[in-house]
Amino acid sequence: MNYIIVSTLLCLTLLDTPATLASSRRSFINRINNVSSTWVAGENFPDSIPTEHLHYLNGFLGIDPDPNFIIAENTHVIPRNQIPADFDAREAWPECRDIIENIMDQGACGSCWAFASTEVMSDRLCISSKATKKFVFSPEDLLECCTSCRNQCEGGYINSAFKYWINNGVVSGGDYNSGLGCKPYSKEAHINSRIPTCVKNCQAGYKTSYKDDKKFGVSVYGVPAIVEQIQMEIMLNGPVIAGYEVYEDFYLYKKGVYQYVTGPKVGNHAVKIVGWGTENDTPYWLVANSWGRDWGDLGGFFKILRGKNHCDIENYITAGKSSASSVYICYFLIMLATVINSTFFFI
């Protein structure tokens, strides 16, 4: 049986006691807060957990270079002056708010790619069905069974995850210990995790079969690394997946608009962008993380600098469609009367 090594046996020396780790982390927090003017750092993880352990949370491998998994970009026509200064998918589609704002915890596993993918699948199915299909796709199912996605708890490709959704379907499943859906997540936060094997059965007591519980996607595509294109994609179809570079200071984010301050790069991470705005004159993307609701002061969400491709946040935007039917677009209802005679431009 293979195991992900996240224990103190690997990460700690005799001097790395919880007290020593806490002191070192407090010093790092103070250093960040003395420099940063747009965000605040603080403690998000127990003192007993070394920073090296946290590196396992970063499992985004990028875009699969295999020609069989290359995806096309989807480009929008941008109506002039119709992109709002602020947007939040939870408010744009209030009937799907409970799905969109659902923050899960990937535990001690580099499964961010599976969480970001299934969260966007869930959001877009709810939005496209006008909330008639509130289905939480299972990151566990994708993590276990998508062999083409790459390395399970050691990272995966988001484009391959969407291809799997289209070709094989994904069942339902909630967070760890939730008991929800066909296959709830099996990994507890900060606990050693086994590499899972693909189980094609639902949990005991679930009334639908594994085969019948599956729902499928119909398309996957990239979005150009242009702010307005990303914004239009979110407004028209719902949240998108982003992959970005993680630096050591990011683990300590509490609130504000994150911009890199100090520390080495520790990996790459996949997340879900749900909107944007401006805070104290600093433009940001509003992003859902998968490290639990206790991470940060925003209930598991964070803000990161928008418009500068900060940490590559705008480089790897991926999305897909859950239904072949026309997508319900609340934004369209707002702008219809003013756009008919507007000048359009590509950007």
Alpha-carbon gap, residue 205 to 202, rounded angstroms: 8
pLDDT tens-place values along the chain, 347 residues long = 343 333 222 222 223 444 444 568 889 999 999 997 899 999 998 876 767 667 667 755 555 566 664 566 778 887 778 899 999 999 999 999 999 999 999 988 889 999 999 999 999 999 999 999 999 999 999 999 999 898 888 889 999 999 999 999 999 999 998 989 999 998 776 555 566 789 999 999 999 999 999 999 999 999 999 999 999 999 999 999 999 999 999 999 999 999 999 999 999 999 999 999 999 999 999 999 999 999 999 999 999 999 999 999 999 999 999 863 344 444 443 343 333 333 323 22
Q: Which of 109, 112, 145, 149 is catalytic?
A: 112
- Per-residue model confidence (pLDDT) at position 191: 54
- Per-residue model confidence (pLDDT) at position 269: 95
289 is catalytic: yes
Interstrand relation of 240-247 and 265-279 (parallel, antiparallel or unpaired): antiparallel
- 162: nearest Cα among 99, 120, 103: 120
> What's the Cα-to-Cα distance from 20 to each of 17, 25, 44, 152, 250, rounded to whole Å?
5, 9, 17, 33, 20
The answer to whether residues 318 and 158 touch, using CB atoms and an 8 Å cutoff, is yes
The answer to whether residues 103 and 289 touch, using CB atoms and an 8 Å cutoff, is yes
Q: Which of 53, 76, 269, 310 is catalytic?
A: 269
Alpha-carbon gap, residue 276 to 85, rounded angstroms: 8
112 is catalytic: yes
- Per-residue model confidence (pLDDT) at position 175: 92
269 is catalytic: yes
Residue 102 is which amino acid?
Answer: N
- Per-residue model confidence (pLDDT) at position 108: 83
Q: Which of 76, 109, 289, 310 is catalytic?
A: 289
Question: Which tokens in the block code for residue 164?
Answer: 């799997």
Alpha-carbon gap, residue 266 to 261, rounded angstroms: 14
- DSSP H helical ranges for the chain: 8-11, 18-35, 51-54, 89-92, 97-100, 112-128, 139-145, 158-168, 210-213, 227-237, 330-339
Interstrand relation of 282-288 and 219-223 (parallel, antiparallel or unpaired): unpaired
Residue 63 is which amino acid?
Answer: I
The answer to whether residues 221 and 72 touch, using CB atoms and an 8 Å cutoff, is yes
Domains with residue ranges and CATH for the chain: 8-346 (3.90.70.10)
- Per-residue model confidence (pLDDT) at position 186: 86
